[in-house]
Structure 1
Amino acid sequence: MIDFRKIPSPCYVLDEQLLDRNLAVIDRVRRESGAEIIVALKACAMWSIFADLARHSDGATASSAAEARLVYEEFGCPAHTYAPVYTDGNIDEILRCSDHITFNSLAQFERFGQRALIRGISCGLRINPQYSPVETDLYNPCVAGSRLGVTAEQLRELPAGIEGLHFHVLCESRPEHLRKALEAVEEHFGRFLDQIKWLNMGGGHLMTHADYDCDELIGILKAFRARHPHLRLILEPGSAFTWRTGYLVSTVEDIVENGGVHTAMLDVSFACHMPDCLEMPYKPAIVGAHEPAPGEKRWRMGGTSCLAGDCCGDWAFDHELQVGERIVFEDMIHYTMVKTTMFNGVHHPSIVIVRRDGRVEIIREFGYEDFRNRMS
């Protein structure tokens, strides 16, 4: 059990033992399904754990030139790269660091495809199967008028040089959603499946969630492989690798009461350090807190930035909160550090790893220079 009183504040904390638990699940799916599972850096680009991730995956996927370079240099292999738009300014760096590249449109393939093919890079095309279970439009790639992927109506024939198709329609989803997505792919794009070498099923496969049925996932993948035995099947989950592997540690610095609302003012920011809490929105779990019962005192958590809406709530505790007390947010490794900002110049949380033997190792601390160097 981590003693959070001994952890510096604010900081992100990754627990290696929790990471090991996830990696064992991912290894089982890889082994029993025959599918390749690669790491999506967009969810976690914490390169200090890349050595562990590399041993329990089949590579990594990038969404930009910077991510592709990070995969190439720190993960130790060329990237599977997909970005909605490539430019003359970034395409050469992306091709240098990739061995697979997926194009978002036919026009992008026409513009840059030959440069990839000359280098021997396997080219793919993102498709829109016009099915997604995601209810929040901000995260749904198949909303009407989506800019992501080619529809069946647009894809009359497969361009020469395209070796793979890629779809990404899930978000923290379950196996039955993948089954429906594959049915949509076969319905709309089935005529092309015999012409390609690989099918990338994107991310959103939350196989390390406690309620996820990995047996069902494995069965779906094996059945699809039986129908299309020549295809390499690729999954690129982001959250699954680092789901519930760590925390964001903060400290109560003040307590404000206004109109009967009690707010614990923290040394972290929802806007800067937990943006999905405001974007999705969702309320994260806090260690030692619970949902308020009727009549129970409620505590709102207040962020340290000047944004009026930099707050979230409400929680209840079994005691009165005090200045100096640690507030520990759960599940704060995936889609947190990668989405942080330095708005207001607020102090950026450090990064800590709790090693398998219990040692606490500070991996990175941030200071004024980090803020200054992002500015002009």
Structure 2
Amino acid sequence: METRAGDPGAFAHFDLSRVDSPAFVVDAARLRENLRILADVGERSGARVLAALKAFSMWSTAPIVGEYLDGVCASGLWEARLASEFYDGEIATYCAAYKEEDLGEILRLSDHVIFNSPAQIERFWPQIETARARGEDFDIGLRINPLHPEGEVPRYDPSAPHSRLGFPIDQLTEEHVEMIDGIHFHNLCEQDFEPLQRTWDKVFDYLEPYFGQFKWINLGGGHHITRADYQRDELVEFLADMAEDTGAEIYIEPGEAVALDAGILVGTVLDVGYNGMPVAVVDISATCHMPDVIEAPYRPAMLGELPIEDDGLIDGGPIDEGQGGAVRLGGPSCLAGDVIGDYRLPVPAEPGVRFAFLDQAHYSMVKTTTFNGVPLPSIWLWDSETDSLECIRRFEYEDFRDRLS
């Protein structure tokens, strides 16, 4: 999987020795800039913009998010609780399947509760009616599957064959529409405007008979709006036209775009050896700290990385960065596949040197694990405009222990 993110921005001048290793460092100034862009899209188009907590839920930055966006979207009860506790604005909750014991609180906390199938709505309708009778105010939505694959990687494509995500749009009926207030679909992953336009062209014919019946239409996330080359003017026009055509309020739920290029993951080389090529063990683990490196897979950009010459391999002998070859970086876990990739570091590849991977604020932070007892990275908030630096959280042995029994 190729990603077009990886702009170092102000991190090009950040002293990596100022923080622990490993450590996530988020730049509040870059976060604000991303949010300003998203707010501008919302203001010019009339669409409502929600931040997707599934991608970036560093709740210490919730006040910054609340300055710019209309609220957040959650993926279940715990994210809805987090949203209610720390974030301002609306809460839209979608889950592929709700547990009956969770739904009451989700209905109470959320402004929009989006179901994955009409069957779920029907099954929980008595609970929905009871909550409304208590005076709780929320809309019911249905996620549809456009049946239109646009993703580069099938496991990240909600419209991949036999997907469990969303109700197949070719099965939608008037009876289903009568149960709901709005429609949700999410079909993108790190993509430009054109895939959204193509998806809407597919969805339009199915939904057009019901235009005027929806209070809102939610286009989900996957929009790389804050990337420099994203077609924002086209998006603004598209969103405004959609509202006019459908008579509905339009929502988008950017996640990655909120924190795009706003964070790095700092690491340290622990040991170096040679096995057909230079190999370095580092304190960053792909499987524990950047699982998308294995799942996608993709190769994260490195801060200050030098170009790899020829085939990137060094033929025998000790590591000599002057030869322009690559060093294979892997984590400290026992997983043989805990390999990050081949890099030519901007510093000598030797124990004790620091390095950093770019664009790690979104998804990496929320997906970390303590497999093998590998420590979690600490979390830092830096403001590149003021150079203020704060350690938000360090994780200790007790955090690992208390997850277990």
Aligned length: 374
Find the counterpart in structure 2 of residue 104 from structure 1. Answer: 116
Aligned with 2:141: secondary structure?
Answer: strand
Aligned with 2:111: secondary structure?
Answer: strand
| Structure 2 Cα separation of the partners of residues 91 and 288 of structure 1 | 47
Shift of residue 77, structure 1, vs aligned partner: 4.3
How do residues 38-49 of structure 1 correspond to structure 2 at under 5 angstroms? 38-49=50-61
| Structure 1 Cα separation of the partners of residues 285 and 392 of structure 2 | 21
Shift of residue 101, structure 1, vs aligned partner: 0.4
Regions of 4+ moved over 6 Å: none
Find the counterpart in structure 2 of residue 312 from structure 1. Answer: 340
When structure 1 is superposed on structure 2, of 178-187 and 150-159 the one drifting more is 150-159
Deviations 1:125-184 (A, max 9, x none): 111111131021111111121111112332222433411000000111111111111111
Select 1:25's aligned residue among 37, 40, 45: 37
In the alignment, is residue 365 of structure 1 matched against residue 366 of structure 2? no
Structure 1 gap segments, 5+ residues each: none
Select 1:74's aligned residue among 86, 94, 102: 86
Select 1:129's aligned residue among 140, 143, 146: 146
Q: Sort the Cα spacing of 1:291 and 1:191 in 2 relative to 1 into closer, same or farther, 3 A.
A: farther
Select 1:182's aligned residue among 195, 200, 203: 200
Find the counterpart in structure 1 of residue 302 from structure 2. Answer: 286
Select 1:93's aligned residue among 78, 88, 105: 105
Find the counterpart in structure 2 of residue 328 from structure 1. Answer: 356
Report the RMSD for the aligned CA atoms in angstroms: 1.4
Find the counterpart in structure 2 of residue 142 from structure 1. Answer: 159
Shift of residue 351, structure 1, vs aligned partner: 0.2
Find the counterpart in structure 2 of residue 194 from structure 1. Answer: 212
In the alignment, is residue 173 of structure 1 matched against residue 191 of structure 2? yes
Deviations 1:251-302 (A, max 9, x none): 111112112x212211111100000011000101111213411163111111
TM-score by length of 2: 0.89
**Contact 2:70/2:89 (CA < 8 Å) preserved in 1?**
no
**Contact 1:36/1:235 (CA < 8 Å) preserved in 2?**
yes
Q: Sort the Cα spacing of 1:114 and 1:183 in 2 relative to 1 into closer, same or farther, 3 A.
A: farther
Find the counterpart in structure 2 of residue 36 from structure 1. Answer: 48
Select 2:371's aligned residue among 331, 334, 343: 343
Aligned with 1:12: secondary structure?
Answer: strand
| Structure 1 Cα separation of the partners of residues 270 and 126 of structure 2 | 57
Shift of residue 189, structure 1, vs aligned partner: 2.1
**Contact 1:129/1:188 (CA < 8 Å) preserved in 2?**
no
Q: Sort the Cα spacing of 1:242 and 1:163 in 2 relative to 1 into closer, same or farther, 3 A.
A: same
| Structure 2 Cα separation of the partners of residues 219 and 367 of structure 1 | 49
Q: Sort the Cα spacing of 1:346 and 1:291 in 2 relative to 1 into closer, same or farther, 3 A.
A: same
Deviations 1:187-216 (A, max 9, x none): 222212221110000001110112211111
Deviations 1:286-340 (A, max 9, x none): 1121341116311111101110010122112455312111010000000011111
Residue identity over aligned pairs, in percent, reads 41
**Contact 2:66/2:89 (CA < 8 Å) preserved in 1?**
no
**Contact 1:26/1:208 (CA < 8 Å) preserved in 2?**
yes
| Structure 2 Cα separation of the partners of residues 332 and 209 of structure 1 | 15
TM-score by length of 1: 0.96
Letter in 1 for 2:191: S
**Contact 1:116/1:122 (CA < 8 Å) preserved in 2?**
no
Letter in 2 for 1:220: F
Letter in 1 for 2:401: R
